[in-house]
Chain A
Amino acid sequence: MDPVFLAELAINGALTGLLYSLFAIGLVLIYKASSVPNLAQGGLTMVGAYVVLALARDVGMPLWLAIPIAVAIMFGLGFGIERVALRRLAGRPVVMILMITLGLDIFLRGTTLAVWGGTSRSMELGVSYEPLFLGDILVSRIHLVGAFVAVMFFAAFLLFFRTRLGIKLRAIADDYMASWSVGISVERGIGLSWGLASVVAVSAGVIWGEIQGVDQALSLLLLKGLTVAVLGGLDSILGAIVAGIILGVVENVGADFLDPLVGGGSRELIVAAVLILTIMIRPHGLFGRHDIERV
C-alpha cells in the first residue's frame, strides 16, 4: 500500500478516534463515580445536540450562546437523572442500574422523535470543508476541531481531579463507604458526575452533529464509545484518549485492508473484535484499575 495513503488513513483514523474518546469520557466519568457503564450516554449525546439546535434554531440564539446554555441545561438534566431515577436504586444490584440506563436511552430516543421528529437537522458550526492538505496528507478540519476539544476536555478533567471537589469524586470512586464515613456526600458526587457527563455529551453531540447531522442515529455512537471506554479502562480518562486513538487507527487502516477481502462491513467487525478481545484478555483495559475483572 502507498505509505502516504496509509499515513492519511492512520491520521484521520486517530482524529476520528479522538472523537470517540470525547464520547467515551462521559462514560468514564459516570463509571468512576458509580461503577456503572451508562448505556444512556448515546441518548444524552443526542439530546445535547437537539437542545443546542432547539436554542439556536427554534429560539433563535446564536450558536456561541446556545452551546453554553445547553451545557447548563444538560448539566441540570444529568444531575436530575441521578436525583430522580438512580438515587432510589442505591444498594440494588448493578444490573438494575444498568437496565435503568438502558431504559433511559430508549426513553430519550423516543422523546426526541416525538418532539423533533425523525428528520435529520444540521448543526452548521461554520467549520470550512475546503480541502486541507498537510504535505500530501488530506486532513479533516472538523475532525481536527473535535480532536482538539477532546484533548481540552482531557486536560480540564486532569486539573479538575486535582481540585478539592475532584478529590472528593476520586474518593467516592475509590471507596464510597469510606467516603460516606468521612462525611463526603456520595449522592451529590454521583450527581455531579452525571452532570459532568452530560456536559461532555453536549460537546460530543455538537461535534458529531456537525459531522453526521442531528438525528436519533447519534445515540448509536454508544457502541464505539463503549468499546473505547472498555479498551482504555472504564475508569481512566487517559485510557479513553489513548484507546480512542488506537481504535480509530485500527478501524480505519484495518478496514482498508479487510474490506476488499470480505466484501465490506469490516469496520463493525473490527470494533466488535476489539471489544470482545479486550474483555477476554484484559478486562480492566489498558489503564483501568485491576479490580475491574471478570466475575
Chain B
Amino acid sequence: MKLLSRAALIHAIMFGMAMSIPATVMAKPFRIGVCYDLSKAYTFATPQVAQAAKDLAELVNRKGGIGGEQVEVIVRDHGNEPQRGVECYEQLSREGVFVFDTLSTPVSLAVLPRAMEDGRVLMQSLVGRGDAVDGTVFDWVYPIGPTYWGQAANDIAYIKQLHDGDLSNVKVGFVYFDYPFGQEPIEILKTLSKKEGFELLLYPVPLPGNDQSGVWSKVRRDKPDQIVVWMLGGAHVVASKEMKRNGIPMDKYISVNWLNEVDIANIGAKNAIGIKRGTNVVGGQDIPLYKEIMAELYDKGNGNGPIEKTQDVFYNTGLAMYSIMFEAARKAVELQGLPLTPDSYRAGLESLRDFDANGLMAPITVTAQDHGGGGATRIEMWDGAAWVPQTDWISEYSDQVWAVVKESSSKFGK
C-alpha cells in the first residue's frame, strides 16, 4: 500500500511536470523513415538523395521547423533486400514513424502491402509499382513524380514535336535493360505506336549492360530516327561508346531520368554533347533552393556530405522528393494543426497544388485520385557544359497512360 501510494505520487508529479512543459519543448520531431539501399544496386543514386534529404531537413530546422516542430530523416541501409527493408519499416514504425521512403523497387513492393494495412504513408518516387499513382486503389502510397509509362509517353510526345506532329514514317528504337525496369514502358510504347503510326524497334540489353556491341550494330543497320533508352549508370557509358563506334549521332539518344553527371563525366563532357534525358527535376545548380543550401550549410562547413555529391542531378532529385514531403507536412499542419498524424499528413499531400519547390521541378498537383502529381517531365540536352531544356514540362497521352494504370491497378489484391 505504501509502495502503491509512492508510485501514485511519482506519477502525479511527472504528470504535473509534463503538463507544465511548454508545447514547443514537448513537441516530437516529424520523422521520415529513409530505408535506402546504401550498399548495393541503388548506390549510384542513394548517397546523393540521402544527402539532399539530410541537408533539406537541416535547412528546414534552421528556419524553425514545421509548425514549430523539428524534422528528422532517419537513414538506414537495407542493401536492396526486401526482408531488411521490411525490418527497417517495422522497427521505425514501432518507434512512431509513419512516413517512409525506400527508393528501391523490390523493397517498395515488399513494404507496400504492410503500409497499406498499417495506415502508413509510403512515398515511392521513381520506383515501385507504377500503378500506385491510382489513389483510389493505393490509398497510402504516393509515387509522386512520373511513372515510367508517363515518362516514355512524354518522350514520344517530344519525338512527335521533332517530327512536326507526324510520326507516321518515323522509326523509334527502344534500347532497354532486359528485366522489369527496362521492360515496363514497352506496353505503352506499343499502344502509342498503334495510335501514332510510328514503327517501334525493340533492342533488349542483358544485364549488367557491359556488352552491347550486337545491339548497336543492329541499331546502326535499322537506322531508327530516335532512340529511347531505359538503362542505368555504366550501361549509358557503354551505349554512348557503341554509338560513337557505329557512327550514330548522340542527339538521337533520349534516356530515362537515370542518367547523371557521373555518367556524363564517364562518357566525357565533349563526347556526350547532344545526349538527352527525360527528367522531372531541373538539372544544374542554378536553383534557388540549391543556392540557399549552399549559403546556409556548405559555405559554413555544415553540409551533410561532400559538396561534389550535390553537383549531381540525383541530389536535385532528392531535394525535390523531400521538398514535397516537407511541404505536405506544412500543409497538413496548416489544415489540421499539430500533432501530425498519418491521416493529416495524407490530407497535406493531397492538398499540394502546382507545387514546384520554387522552380526546382515539374509542378505537381496531388489529389485523392492521382497520387503521382501529374507525371510531368521535360527533355533536357547536354551541350558540353550544362543541361539545356528542349521542352516545357509536359504530361502527354494521359488517357493512354491512365488506361495502362487502371488496367494494372485493377488487378491489385486479386
Contacts and interface: CB of A to CB of B under 8 A. Distances in A.
Is B one of A's binding partners? yes
Which one of B214, B217, B235, B268 has the highest number of Cβ atoms from chain A below 10 Å of its Cβ? B214
B214 A9 contact: yes
B211 A16 contact: yes
A131 to B, nearest CB: 4
B241 A118 contact: no
Contacts of B265: 122
In the complex, which range does the number of interface residues on chain B fall in?
A: 35 or more
Interface stretch (A74-82, A165-173, A184-192, A209-217): A209-217
A269 to B, nearest CB: 9
Nearest to A215: B234
B220 A120 contact: no
Contacts of B387: none
Contacts of B178: 264-265
B324 interface: no
A141 B159 CA distance: 32
A226 to B, nearest CB: 16
A131 B246 contact: yes
Given A9-B214, A213-B266, A265-B204, A118 B44 contact: yes
A122 B237 contact: yes
A124 B271 CA distance: 12
B245 A138 contact: yes
B233 A120 contact: yes
Contact of B43 (A13, A117, A121, A130): A117
A2 B217 CA distance: 13
A246 B238 CA distance: 23
B221 A252 contact: no
B222 to A, nearest CB: 11
Interface of A is mostly: helix
Interface string B203-242: 0101011110110011011000000000001110110011
Contacts of A110: 39
Interface string A106-128: 00001001000111111010000
B16 interface: no
Interface stretch (A64-72, A193-201, A255-263): A255-263
A215 B238 CA distance: 13
Nearest to A248: B211
Contact of A267 (B206, B218, B247, B268): B206
Interface in A80-116: 110, 113
A220 B208 contact: yes
B238 A213 contact: yes
Nearest to A208: B210
Nearest to A123: B266
A27 B210 CA distance: 20
Interface residues of A, number: 42
A215 B217 CA distance: 25
Interface of A: 2, 5, 8-9, 12-13, 16, 110, 113, 117-122, 124, 129-132, 138, 140-143, 208, 211-213, 215, 217, 220-221, 252, 255-256, 259, 263-265, 267-268
B368 interface: no
Interface in B18-51: 39-40, 43-44, 47
A294 B347 CA distance: 65
B202 interface: yes
Interface string B374-414: 00000000000000000000000000000000000000000
Which one of A5, A8, A212, A256 has the highest number of Cβ atoms from chain B below 10 Å of its Cβ? A212
A5 B262 contact: no
Contacts of B238: 211-213
Given A120-B233, A208-B210, 10 more contacts: A5-B217, A16-B213, A120-B266, A131-B244, A138-B217, A211-B241, A213-B233, A217-B208, A217-B210, A265-B178
A131 B234 contact: no
Contacts of B208: 212, 217, 220
A115 B94 CA distance: 34
A244 to B, nearest CB: 13
Contacts of A217: 208, 210, 234
A122 to B, nearest CB: 4
Interface of B is mostly: helix
A233 B221 CA distance: 37
Nearest to A5: B221
A18 to B, nearest CB: 13
Nearest to B233: A120
11 contacts: A120-B44, A120-B237, A129-B241, A129-B244, A131-B245, A138-B217, A140-B213, A217-B208, A256-B214, A259-B204, A264-B204
Which one of A113, A256, A264 has the highest number of Cβ atoms from chain B below 10 Å of its Cβ? A264
A256 B218 contact: yes
Contacts of B268: 122, 124
Contacts of A208: 210
B234 A212 contact: yes
Contact of B204 (A2, A211, A220, A263): A263
Contacts of A121: 266
Of all A-B residue pairs in the complex, the 7 with the closest CB atoms, nearest first, are A118-B43, A264-B204, A212-B210, A213-B234, A122-B266, A129-B244, A120-B234
B409 to A, nearest CB: 25
A119 B217 contact: no
B40 to A, nearest CB: 8
B210 A9 contact: no
B43 A140 contact: no
A131 B242 CA distance: 9
Nearest to B182: A264
Given A119-B262, A131-B245, A212-B238, A113 B43 contact: yes
Nearest to B38: A118
Nearest to B41: A118
Contacts of A220: 208, 210
Interface string B234-272: 110110011011110000000000000011011110010
Contacts of A263: 204
A193 to B, nearest CB: 27
A116 to B, nearest CB: 11
Nearest to A214: B234
Contacts of B266: 120-122, 213
Contacts of A141: 245
Contacts of A259: 204
A256 B213 CA distance: 11
A125 to B, nearest CB: 12
